[in-house]
Structure 1
Amino acid sequence: MSMETVMYDTVQIVGSLLILGAFVAALLGRVAQSGYGYLAVNAAGSAVLTVTAVISREWGFILLEGVWALVSLYSLVRKAAGRPVAGAH
């Protein structure tokens, strides 16, 4: 396995762990799904995975992760503007 492959896989794993960590933290009640931390981690993780999907031309994952990143970023912008975010109670 080349160093390039190892780095690529590591970046994918980090992106996945960011999203999964935020999800598990929300399920455990440690973070709010409408909070800055949750939204920022989701945006970062999905953006990383979108980039890796673009590199490998994985169209389904580009769509999935790209939309996830955009929705998370949109929610961050709405929250920063003082507007409601989906999932806020």
Structure 2
Amino acid sequence: MVTGLDWASVVGFFGTACIIGAYAYLTLKDKPNPFVLHGTNLAGAALLTVSLLVHTNWPSLVLEGFWAAIAIYGLIKAIRTGRKGQEREA
């Protein structure tokens, strides 16, 4: 039996795309902008959390909570240092 995707699964796929895109950006860019990197990761975690609240998977929901917390920390650190990827820490 083949069923279509519901709205929560579509939202989850967009979240997955954000996180994969952020990882690819980090890997491919010599001096990644932390606002782009962590902002995209935070958006991905938020979208996946919405999906997981509908289709509950507790281990994945906990993972997204940590993923979001790390992204928020990264954004706060970037705001405090004013770092936008132009310089790289040693």
Band the TM-score falls in, shorter-chain normalisation:
0.7 to 0.9
Task: Say which structure, 1 or 2, has more relative contact order (CA 8 Å, 6+ apart).
Answer: 2
Distance 1:43-1:21 versus aligned 2 partners, 3 A rule: same
Give the structure-1-normalised TM-score: 0.77
Q: Which runs of 5+ in 2 are unaligned?
A: none
Computing the radius of gyration over CA atoms, which structure comes out larger, 1 or 2? 2
Residues 22-59 of structure 1, C-alpha deviations (whole Å, 9 max, x = no match): 11121112662x61101100011011112221222210
Counterparts of residues 1-89 of structure 1 (less than 5 Å): 1=3, 5-29=5-29, 32=32, 35-82=34-81, 89=89
User: Which amino acid letter does the alignment assign opposite residue 81 of structure 1?
Assistant: R
Identity of aligned residues (%): 25
User: Which amino acid letter does the alignment assign opposite residue 55 of structure 1?
Assistant: V
Aligned length: 83
Residues 57-82 of structure 1, C-alpha deviations (whole Å, 9 max, x = no match): 21000111111011101211121122
What is the RMSD of the two structures over their aligned residues, measured on CA atoms?
A: 2.2
